[in-house]
Structure 1
């Protein structure tokens, strides 16, 4: 049963409203002034407040302010007399949902109350979903190693600041998870959170994707498009794989970070934005700066708060926790509960190099759960590469006479391309790099594309 608090200094008015609502299955609470309203609100936690503006001891505006401090989501409808509409508007600025003027029609009152209760129910659902999202976001940060504890400490300290964050780490280490934690722990958590994979957007479209375009800006631009930066206004934008941006685009991005404004492609109007920028990359940006492939000024603009995530092989203590987490997750998802991994298999997994980091571990566990015939995963269920890693590691031993690293790199790229029939994406995966990096190194070694 929904509880409605009626607040009016006129006893007859409270009685009339109560009588009008008696068939609506509401529990009616009463208060004769603003002070009583606040006291009843604290004790009863009603679902809606219907409150007069003009009252002795404490008026409606003051009571509204105190009630909103207790629960800012509660729907409040103000009752106004003739000539007090301006005060009702002031009340709405303070958080009132609606107002109704005396004398009012009973049916009109019922409709206003029903709408307000519906808004309150929707807000409760939104709050529940947001809490669930925040809980789920927190759960994905698994680990109790000193490195992870230090990173989580940084996240906690920087979340509510406007500082730009640069997250560094190999592919699969969880850079996006850390970015999520920063956004959902910040005061911008209820605002837009826009993610952009800079390496997945073709160079000729990246400017339009980030900043939008005007109608007729280029062939095919049949309407105005709002870009990612504009959509992120008030919130956070994650620029993943920031190292893949070409130099002209880096210049434009630097200007946005400095000026907090930009122009859509084909337009002249300045679009101002308030955004928090988080960038992430698996590239060595400092080395790219030295090689003049990344702008130094942009690097320092992004590198205000650096967070470096170590590879999984450097924090082996977190591997058992991650194994347990993914084991439970995928066991529930595929309907194979009570799955276990025996100690011999666990030891192999803990000591494995995990070149693909957490992402590789996650994929391996999902595959084993699906394919295992029994409820216990043993060494025989492990992928070949995990069981044979020790043998393969010996093939990378440095010869006594040394090597020419440039020639070795060129030879490995050629082997990867030949093995994949010159499929650049698959070859890049074999080499543990992005396709853009592979293309850059192919040009460097004068390897022709087929």
Structure 2
């Protein structure tokens, strides 16, 4: 796309001559005889360089004010000062205020072209620095831990899709590790040396979604006191990960679709198109197909995104990976907390395997870190502090019911009641400091009944 050069001089003939030279060289040039007109343009549209006559028929002081105001709007714009022989001293002062360079009148055409090329290069470098500063450079690509069949199948599909440019939709429950797989796709793609930019669409305020994704110009809305790049630009050359994409308003979904189709975006409050070069990976913890049926997600956007779909299994469907995951987070927790907890007891591992982990890997990690903090040598079930509201039997009963298979309601209810009963006894004993008489009183049962239940649930030593 042609670079935009502004010429600001009260001499219209000179402006048209310079404009012609620049256009022959492939630049997009605009000339202004008044500073206010040039300032208005800069406030609305980006420019790659400005040729500025300090005098403008109003004295050099006005030109210096204009230079200052342009630099405040966009500090990256290089300004080349046009000056007469008698005003070189003022040009030097302008450079101290941030002007890129100066050229004296009458000037040689080639001299102007050389300065403009240098100025445009400077602008591009400055913009790249701005993008780099906005990026999260300390990106880590966490390993996918586990060797079970379920996770191996997902890894195989991940590594197969990574080298392509296809957009991907990752579906999985909250906390199941969707971003980990998105990062793996990026790390194994041809864009691995570019940025990986993650946007949690679920945390963005509806009024700010568009400006966050596409950027905005100064004055685009109340509080927009400077130009800001959007996440599409920050991710240029790399991967943009849109987590919980189902939370995007329909109006923004339409603009996202247009951006993906045209590979161009507009800043909020701007008119200039900006080319984008990104790969998009989207993720959702709800069925986008169901959202389409409910009228909450655009079908055309879904088909544009869903060139490949990756399903990440919940932790309860990959329980064979729990020992390996436990050791992974145990080592990390020991390192971070400067502890030396040596491992998990068999009872702790059994507890972890029997728990349904509704919060998935995120909840599992938190439980292990909490256990490392509480344990001295070996992690026991009490250190995990997890609530067994749904164990494997209850989970299977629910799954059988959902699949239309027969279940024993009496047996499932009795089993679930036993889990809750055990849980309440453990919590009450803990609150009573192990005093069984006080615990029985609070549970509104007699001491003998409590002892029987302690024996039943193997809590006799508590």
Q: Same fold (TM over 0.5)?
A: yes
Cα displacement (A) at 1:148 = 1.4
Aligned to 2:378: 376
Cα displacement (A) at 1:395 = 11
Pick from 319, 324, 332 the counterpart of residue 322 of structure 2: 319
d(CA) in 2 for partners of 1:286, 1:177? 23
- Asked whether the 8 Å contact 1:171–1:357 carries over to 2, the reply is yes
Aligned to 2:332: 329
d(CA) in 1 for partners of 2:381, 2:192? 43
- SS, match of residue 255 in structure 1: helix
d(CA) in 2 for partners of 1:204, 1:257? 21
Aligned to 2:285: 282
- Shift of the 395–147 alpha-carbon distance from structure 1 to 2, 3 Å rule, reads closer
- Asked whether the 8 Å contact 1:174–1:358 carries over to 2, the reply is yes
d(CA) in 2 for partners of 1:210, 1:185? 25
- Asked whether the 8 Å contact 1:331–1:339 carries over to 2, the reply is no
- Shift of the 390–235 alpha-carbon distance from structure 1 to 2, 3 Å rule, reads closer
Aligned to 1:12: none
- Shift of the 388–193 alpha-carbon distance from structure 1 to 2, 3 Å rule, reads closer
Deviations 1:181-206 (A, max 9, x none): 01111121111211111111101001
Pick from 208, 217, 230 the counterpart of residue 211 of structure 2: 208
Deviations 1:350-377 (A, max 9, x none): 12101011111100000011012x3011
Question: Which consecutive unaligned segments of at least 5 residues does structure 1 have?
Answer: 1-132, 402-450
Pick from 304, 309, 312 the counterpart of residue 301 of structure 1: 304
d(CA) in 2 for partners of 1:203, 1:219? 16
- Asked whether the 8 Å contact 1:192–1:232 carries over to 2, the reply is yes
Aligned to 1:168: 171
- Shift of the 387–252 alpha-carbon distance from structure 1 to 2, 3 Å rule, reads closer
- Asked whether the 8 Å contact 1:164–1:303 carries over to 2, the reply is yes
- Shift of the 390–285 alpha-carbon distance from structure 1 to 2, 3 Å rule, reads closer
Aligned to 1:345: 348
Cα displacement (A) at 1:220 = 1.1
Q: Does the alignment pair 1:261 with 2:264?
A: yes
d(CA) in 1 for partners of 2:367, 2:408? 36
Deviations 1:409-430 (A, max 9, x none): xxxxxxxxxxxxxxxxxxxxxx
- Asked whether the 8 Å contact 1:210–1:228 carries over to 2, the reply is yes
Cα displacement (A) at 1:232 = 1.0
Cα displacement (A) at 1:380 = 2.8
- Structure 1 residue ranges (4+ consecutive) displaced by more than 4 angstroms after TM superposition: 387-401
Q: Does the alignment pair 1:153 with 2:156?
A: yes
- Shift of the 387–280 alpha-carbon distance from structure 1 to 2, 3 Å rule, reads closer
d(CA) in 1 for partners of 2:367, 2:263? 43
- Shift of the 384–362 alpha-carbon distance from structure 1 to 2, 3 Å rule, reads closer
- Asked whether the 8 Å contact 1:349–1:386 carries over to 2, the reply is no
- SS, match of residue 211 in structure 2: helix
Deviations 1:29-82 (A, max 9, x none): xxxxxxxxxxxxxxxxxxxxxxxxxxxxxxxxxxxxxxxxxxxxxxxxxxxxxx
d(CA) in 2 for partners of 1:318, 1:298? 35
Cα displacement (A) at 1:231 = 1.1
- Shift of the 354–261 alpha-carbon distance from structure 1 to 2, 3 Å rule, reads same
- Asked whether the 8 Å contact 1:229–1:237 carries over to 2, the reply is yes
- SS, match of residue 300 in structure 2: helix
Single out whichever of 236-245 and 337-346 deviates more from structure 2: 337-346
Q: Which has the larger radius of gyration?
A: 2
> Number of residue pairs matched?
267
| Superposition TM-score, scaled by structure 2 size | 0.54
Pick from 231, 234, 238 the counterpart of residue 231 of structure 1: 234
